[in-house]
Amino acid sequence: MKKVKWGVIGAGGIADRRTIPGMMLSQNAELTAVMEVTKEFADRIAEKYGVKYSYDNEDDLLAKPEIDAVYIASPVAAHYGQAVKAAQNHKHILLEKPLALTTREGAELIALCESENVLFASGFMMRYHAYHQKAKEIVSSGALGQIVSMRAQLTCWYPEIAGCWRQSFAQSGGGSLMDMGVHCIDLLQFISGAKVTGVSAMTGTKTFSYDVEDSASLLMEFDSGAFGYVDAHFNIPDNAAQCRLEIYGTKGSILADGTIGQAEGGQMLLTVSDDDDLEYSAIQDRGQNGGIAIEAVLGNMYEKEITSFGNSILNGEKVEAPASDALQVQKIVECAYQSSRERRMINVK
Ligand X SMILES: NC(=O)c1ccc[n+]([C@@H]2O[C@H](COP(=O)([O-])OP(=O)(O)OC[C@H]3O[C@@H](n4cnc5c(N)ncnc54)[C@H](O)[C@@H]3O)[C@@H](O)[C@H]2O)c1
- What is the rounded CA–CA span in Å between residue 147 and residue 138? 11
| Minimum separation from the CB atom of position 54 to ligand X (A) | 12
Per-residue contact flags (x/-) with ligand X for residues 23 to 52, judged by CB under 6 A: ------------xxx---------------
- Which residue, 224 or 262, has its beta carbon nearer to ligand X? 262
Query: Measured in whole angstroms, how far is the alpha carbon of residue 26 from the centre of its chain?
Result: 19
22 binds ligand X (CB under 6 A): no
Stretch of 71-79, 190-198, 241-249, 311-319 lying at the interface with ligand X (CB under 6 A): 71-79
| Member of 13, 145, 258, 291 binding ligand X (CB under 6 A) | 13
| Member of 75, 145, 252, 299 binding ligand X (CB under 6 A) | 75
Q: How many CB atoms lie within 10 A of CB 246?
A: 17
12 binds ligand X (CB under 6 A): yes
| Member of 32, 74, 308, 312 binding ligand X (CB under 6 A) | 74
Max CA pair span of the chain: 70
Query: Measured in whole angstroms, how far is the alpha carbon of residue 313 from the centre of its chain?
Result: 20
Cβ distance 10 to 74 under 8 Å? yes
Stretch of 9-17, 136-144, 153-161, 325-333 lying at the interface with ligand X (CB under 6 A): 9-17
333 binds ligand X (CB under 6 A): no
| Member of 4, 6, 8, 10 binding ligand X (CB under 6 A) | 10
Cβ distance 144 to 254 under 8 Å? yes
47's CB contacts (< 8 A; 6+ apart) are none
9 binds ligand X (CB under 6 A): yes
| Member of 70, 83, 86, 125 binding ligand X (CB under 6 A) | 125
- Which residue, 95 or 144, has its beta carbon nearer to ligand X? 95
- What is the rounded CA–CA span in Å between residue 92 and residue 205? 37
What is the footprint of ligand X within residues 140-179 (CB under 6 A)?
A: 179
- Which residue, 122 or 339, has its beta carbon nearer to ligand X? 122
| Minimum separation from the CB atom of position 124 to ligand X (A) | 7
- Which residue, 32 or 74, has its beta carbon nearer to ligand X? 74
Give the start-end residues of each E strand in the chain.
4-9, 29-35, 53-55, 69-72, 92-95, 120-122, 147-155, 196-204, 215-222, 227-233, 245-249, 252-257, 267-272, 292-293, 346-347
Give me the phi and psi of 220, to 5 degrees please.
-130, 150
Between the alpha carbon of residue 109 and those of residues 19, 65, 68, 79, the distances in Å are: 22, 21, 18, 10
Stretch of 6-14, 220-228, 237-245, 284-292 lying at the interface with ligand X (CB under 6 A): 6-14
Cβ distance 192 to 117 under 8 Å? no
Q: What angle do CA 240, 210, 163 make, to 5 degrees?
A: 100
What is the footprint of ligand X within residues 76-115 (CB under 6 A)?
A: 76, 78, 96-97
Between the alpha carbon of residue 198 and those of residues 142, 173, 307, 342, 345, the distances in Å are: 24, 21, 34, 14, 7
**Count of residues touching ligand X (by CB under 6 A):** 20
- Which residue, 88 or 347, has its beta carbon nearer to ligand X? 88
- Which residue, 179 or 334, has its beta carbon nearer to ligand X? 179
Per-residue contact flags (x/-) with ligand X for residues 283 to 322, judged by CB under 6 A: ----------------------------------------
Per-residue contact flags (x/-) with ligand X for residues 249 to 268, judged by CB under 6 A: -------------x------
Task: Report DSSP state, residue 283.
Answer: T
What is the footprint of ligand X within residues 178-207 (CB under 6 A)?
A: 179
Q: Which of 316, 324, 261, 254 lies closest to 290, judged by CA?
A: 254
Binding residues (CB under 6 A) for ligand X: these are 9-10, 12-14, 18, 35-37, 73-76, 78, 96-97, 123, 125, 179, 262
